Chain A
Amino acid sequence: SAVISQKPSRDICQRGTSLTIQCQVDSQVTMMFWYRQQPGQSLTLIATANQGSEATYESGFVIDKFPISRPNLTFSTLTVSNMSPEDSSIYLCSVTDLDGRNTEAFFGQGTRLTVV
Chain B
Amino acid sequence: QKEVEQNSGPLSVPEGAIASLNCTYSDRGSQSFFWYRQYSGKSPELIMFIYSNGDKEDGRFTAQLNKASQYVSLLIRDSQPSDSATYLCAVRNYKLTFGKGTLLTVNP
Q: A residues near B, CB below 8 A?
A: 1, 33, 41-45, 48, 90, 92, 94, 101, 103-110, 112
Contact = CB atoms under 8 A, between A and B. Distances in A.
A103 B99 contact: no
Interface residues of B, number: 21
Contacts of A104: 34, 46, 49
A108 B101 contact: no
A105 B98 CA distance: 12
B92 A42 contact: no
Contacts of B97: 45
B60 interface: no
Given A43-B98, A48-B95, A105 B43 contact: no
26 contacts: A1-B46, A33-B95, A33-B96, A41-B100, A42-B88, A42-B98, A42-B101, A43-B98, A45-B95, A45-B96, A48-B95, A90-B43, A92-B44, A94-B96, A103-B31, A103-B32, A105-B34, A105-B46, A105-B92, A105-B96, A106-B46, A107-B45, A108-B43, A109-B42, A110-B43, A112-B41
